Amino acid sequence: MPGGGQGAGIGLVLGGLLSQELGAAVATSLFPRAGAAGIVTLRLVLSAVLLLAVCRPRVRGYRHADWAVVVGFGAALAGMNFLFYQSIARIPLGTAVTFEVLGPLVLSVVLARCAASWLWAGLALAGVVLLSRGGFDRLDPAGVAFALGAAALWAAYILMSARAGARFPRTDGLALALAMAVAAAMSLPLGVLDAGGALLDPVTLGLGAVVAILSSALPYTLELVALRRVTASVFGVVSTLAPVVAVAAGYLVLGQVLTLVDIGAITLVVAATAGAVLTARR
């Protein structure tokens, strides 16, 4: 794209990360209003409405195999978000994101199939051990379990996204819009069961729209533009800063303060993930 260099692309990636983590922090502050399941439902439903309105995907002309991929993509998206929101309801945002990025890290290590990848895995393991010093009960076992479940589904989301990209090769968000609609439909029963009429509260709806924009619409747009200006490897390395940005968002919005040891552990995981991205095969 004329007029935009790699520096601008990196700035766009960082802007997308900041928007996403601020959205998660705002969502956490809304849990007392409608519960974690209710807020994630609001986010997915409103995000689906936004994406469908912008992308206006057609729903005819696809084969059953195409729809199977979309449903799998949407299921991974719904599960990843649901488990992540359950996690940040119990443990600090920065810590939850650190555990969550282990999913893409493990996927990179498995796909790389080289000796160096195990070095990054060991470095990440050291960070996790340091982060959980004294036992996972220091953090809340359920919160850690939900974050690790979100990590596994993030890896599944990446794989399903690649399959969807092969079947829906357009770059206008077609597959994501359809998958987001599937995720919204899957999450709706849980959200209604958890929050009930609180989902229709005007204030909650308004703030839910803010979460949807910050967590989905704006980051996706910034990342789509960024990928036209930077290479995939640069994008991947910059994206590994998500835990650091999450720590900052948790501190600024929620007042969550981590110890120096926690920050050191997060740094180890970030370094391991960046190394895995740099050495991974295409």
Token pair belonging to 169: 């090769």
Q: CA of 80: how far to CAs of 68, 149, 154, 234, in Å?
A: 18, 8, 6, 24
Lowest-pLDDT range of 1-5, 116-120, 158-162, 200-204: 1-5
Lowest-pLDDT range of 65-69, 212-216, 269-273, 274-278: 274-278
- 133-137, Cβ contacts within 8 angstroms, sequence gap of 24 or more: 133/261
Residue 136 has pLDDT above 70, yes or no: no
- Tell me what the pLDDT averaged over the chain comes to: 85
pLDDT tens digits, 225-255: 887 888 777 888 888 889 999 999 999 999 9
Lowest-pLDDT range of 19-33, 71-85, 109-123, 199-213: 109-123
pLDDT, position 199? 87
Total-model pTM: 0.87
